[in-house]
Amino acid sequence: MNFFKKFPTIFVLPLFLFLPIPEIHAIHPQRIILDSYNDFAQGTSESVEIKAEGFLTPSPFIEKICSLPAEQAWSILAESYDSCLIGTSPEGKLFRVKKDGSYQLIAKFPEGNVSALTKNKKGEIFVGTSPDGKIYKIEPNGHFKVFFDPKEKYIWSMICDDKSNLYVGTGTAGRIYRLTEEAKGEIYATVSETHVRCLLLHPTKETLLAATANRGAVYEIFPGGKAILLVDPEKDEINQLVVGDNHCVYFSTVGKKKFGRLPNQPQPDSSSLLPEGWIEVSGEQDENKEYPSSKTQPLVNIKPTIPPRLSEIWKIETSGLSYPIWSSKDFVFAIQWFKNRLFIGSDSGGYIYAVDTNGKMDRVLKTDSSQLNAFALSGNQLFISSSNPIHIYLTGESMREREAIYRSWPIDAGSIAKWGSIRLEKEGNVEVLTRTGNTHRAEAGWYGWQPLVDNHCTSPSGRYLQFELRLGKNAKVSRVEIACLPNNIPPKIELLKILPPGISYSSLMMPPPPPPTKTIEQLLSHDEKSTDFESQSMPPRFQVKESRGLRTVVWKAIDPDGDNLKYSIFFKPYPSSAIWTLLAKELDESLFSWDTTGWPDGFYVLKIEATDEKDNPLGMGLSASLESRPFLVDNTPPKILIQNKDNAISITVTDEGSGIKTVEISEDGKTFTPLYPKEGMLDFRKQEFVIGLTPEKKIRFIRAEDESGNISNALLNN
């Protein structure tokens, strides 16, 4: 019997952060291919869906039906097929929004935040407020009255069962209440966490599912109130519970990773667990304390940018098995099962994403809101709300069509380029437009949009190209292939250095690199089309050799196109000649050593020339050069003059070339010690040394060396 089960793959995908389209190089004709989700997701889309399989297709119609005079939408409820209710903060306003875009304020609650909405089978509307939470019932005439006051600080969630019993999730004591139609209430269950953020009737059992915050967990509440911990995703909070296909349950988690549970572990301050801008929910309620109203202090402030924390989507199968299917660095506010997919509302730049049962993600809809934080399902359509500011959207397949436009990210050729054919793998009618420019900022002085002619780009040459696809009904684009011919950019020699004399360097034979390798993940990644495997070769190494007359020049050259460079070296005497003489050519390495012992003494200048002609068509290669500073070639050793003077011996050393480096004396010709100059300081051109006479007759060795390594020797008879 096999006790192990393979879990589905977890898709870890940031919603709005993708790798840039790589620059293209060299003067050879280039092909740019877009045929994957990551390729297309770098662009923007209006009514175009980007499928996980890597193709574009028109998305369901979405329309912004109205904007509300409030800051944050905290709850949403589909009241009928034609309208929904929106609970807001910080002024506690409840709006009715109709499909035609009209809206009305139907109630305003003193607590400031309408945090939960639900209705029973009779259509009666219940409103939960926070802080100092109460439950209100909306009368048919629009008036409201307190239906139940649980004496809790927060009302987070509400749901009605088939018998019109109302279940209420609260904070900060982790209590769940059950209310009858007659407003008779009881504490139905209590969980270990401080906040019951969402409730869901189990799709196949007569039980209740409750998800918590402060420490995220999913509990199953059995009749009688027994709470069993069903899933512990080890995150800060679970903020949504929904039913999907085949009675499976999905939930979204947000926040930091939590460690294993410990018995009787004290709960931390929950204000540090919820994302920035959410209501602070730490501590127990003080029944004698008057909490601030919305007139004196904002109750909530959802900021446009929320600190980056990992969000996850989990799946609970009917067997009770649970596992994550998707993850993102964006903050997920809301999820909703719709049209056989799980729609996701987040802070991902206005896009609505959807994942299937295995976590494969599509980018489905585009809005002009930065935070999409609530969904309400009404038949085959979906009401969507945003915050900061509040916009209400409506989407559904039965709604009218609109123009579907996909616009690529500016593609960089690396230099001014001529753009050629643009070919699509497509189905249906697709119109292609292009425009070009010389800055990545498309709004700053680009050429206008131009249609293709015979599948060829008619836009002027430019460094950047952007294309636009206008998809007809039922159209599909799975591949875009673009041809371009970049202009060649000349190489550049950035640095040139003549090394000290007497040293040369020769290349060592390095072992060949191992065969290139790729992992499965790399082969499936965004660069699967690349034929250039990562370089595994070692950088070149050079062996040092020391000898008189050797010289070495080293330089650094770059080619913006990535072309391979060849180098030539020229020299000329300085300043007596204007004629350059070739010293070496066809060099691959940016280092060259040579022997100058046959060169006349004097100053010289080197010129390094780099060319990319080997990597470009005939006659289209470019070159660059850089001259060195004058350097001295000195092959003449110092001169030693010995004279007797008044019971002493005078030694005069001169060098008109590179200058005196050392003057030394030895009694055995093996061990030398430096001589101390007569004037106490060594002159680089001429220096006198004085040695006193001794009664004992001796032969001494004198050795002088200049800065170029030339050595002179002399014998001193005393």
Q: Does domain 19-55+403-486 have CATH number 2.60.120?
A: yes
Beta strands in 590-647 (DSSP E): 591-595, 602-611, 623-627, 631-633, 639-644
Q: What is the CATH number of domain 62-260+272-278+291-396?
A: 2.130.10.10
Strand partners, 234: none
* Strand, coil or helix: 523: helix
Average pLDDT over residues 144-151: 93
Task: Report d(CA 469, CA 48) in Å as an integer.
Answer: 10
Residue 715 has pLDDT above 60, yes or no: yes
Largest CA distance in the chain: 134
Element (H, E) at 38: helix 37-41
Beta strands in 121-232 (DSSP E): 125-130, 133-138, 144-152, 154-160, 166-171, 175-179, 185-190, 195-201, 208-213, 218-222, 226-231
Provide the token pair at 718: 């005393």
pLDDT of residue 399: 57
pLDDT of residue 538: 62
243: closest CA among 191, 140, 156, 317?
Answer: 317
Residue 278 has pLDDT above 60, yes or no: no
Burial-class residue 225 by CB neighbours within 10 Å (0-12, 13-18, 19+).
middle
Task: State what percent of residues in the chain have pLDDT above 90.
Answer: 66
Strand partners, 432: 469
Residue written as token pair 């470019």: 622
CATH architecture of 492-509+540-633: Sandwich (2.60)
Burial-class residue 589 by CB neighbours within 10 Å (0-12, 13-18, 19+).
exposed
CB atoms near residue 350 (< 10 Å): 18
Provide the token pair at 490: 């000349």
> How do residues 486-535 score in pLDDT, each as one tens digit?
888 899 999 999 999 998 988 777 677 777 777 887 777 655 444 444 44
Residue 408 has pLDDT above 90, yes or no: yes
pLDDT of residue 519: 83
Q: Give this prediction's pTM.
A: 0.71
614 secondary structure, DSSP code? G
- DSSP-derived pairing of the beta strands 566-574 and 550-558: unpaired
Q: Where are the domains of the chain?
A: 19-55+403-486, 62-260+272-278+291-396, 492-509+540-633, 639-717
Residue 704 has pLDDT above 70, yes or no: yes
Q: Do the Cβ atoms of 236 and 215 come closer than 8 Å? A: yes
> How do residues 621-645 score in pLDDT, each as one tens digit?
999 999 999 999 999 999 999 988 8
Q: Do the Cβ atoms of 603 and 630 come closer than 8 Å? A: yes
Check for a shared fold between 492-509+540-633 and 639-717: yes
Indicate the class that CATH gives domain 639-717: mainly beta
* Strand, coil or helix: 270: helix
Q: Between 250 and 508, where is the model more confident?
A: 250
> How do residues 315-332 score in pLDDT, each as one tens digit?
999 999 999 999 999 999
The alpha-carbon radius of gyration of the chain (Å, integer) is 40
pLDDT of residue 602: 95
Average pLDDT over residues 432-459: 93
621 secondary structure, DSSP code? -
